[in-house]
Amino acid sequence: METSAQKVIIPGQDSGPSLEGRLYEAGGRGAVMAAPHPLYGGSLYNPVVAEAASALSESGFSTLTFNWRGVGASNGAPSNSPEEATADYSAALELLRARSEPPYIAAGYSFGAVAAVTVALATVDVSRLLLVPPPVYMLAGLELGGLEVPVRVIAGDCDVFAPADGLERLLDSLPDAKLEVVAGADHFFAGGGLADIHALVGAALE
pTM of the shown model: 0.95
In this predicted structure, the answer to whether residue 51 has a pLDDT above a threshold of 80 is yes
Q: How many CB atoms lie within 10 A of CB 83?
A: 9
Query: Is the pLDDT confidence value at 71 over 90?
Result: yes
% of residues, the chain, pLDDT over 70: 99
Q: Is the pLDDT of residue 33 over 90?
A: yes
184-188 long-range contacts, CB within 8 A, separation 24+ = 184/156, 184/157, 184/158, 185/155, 185/156, 185/157, 185/158, 185/159, 186/156, 186/158, 186/159, 186/160, 187/110, 187/133, 187/135, 187/156, 187/159, 187/160, 187/161, 187/162, 188/48
Q: Average model confidence (pLDDT) for the chain?
A: 94
Q: For 5-204, which CATH superfamily applies?
A: Alpha/Beta hydrolase fold, catalytic domain (3.40.50.1820)
Is the model more confident about 141 or about 77? 77
pLDDT at 1: 46
Is the model's pLDDT at 119 over the cut of 90? Answer: yes
Residues 6+ apart with CB under 8 A from 66: 10, 19, 20, 21, 22, 32, 34, 35, 44, 74, 88, 92
**For position 63, what pLDDT does the model report?**
97
Quickly state the pLDDT bin for 3 (edges 50, 70, 90).
low
The per-residue pLDDT for range 175-201, each reduced to its tens digit, is 999 999 999 999 999 888 998 999 999
Q: How far is CA 44 from the centre of its chain?
A: 10
* Residue pLDDT, tens place only, 128-156: 999 999 999 999 889 999 999 999 999 99
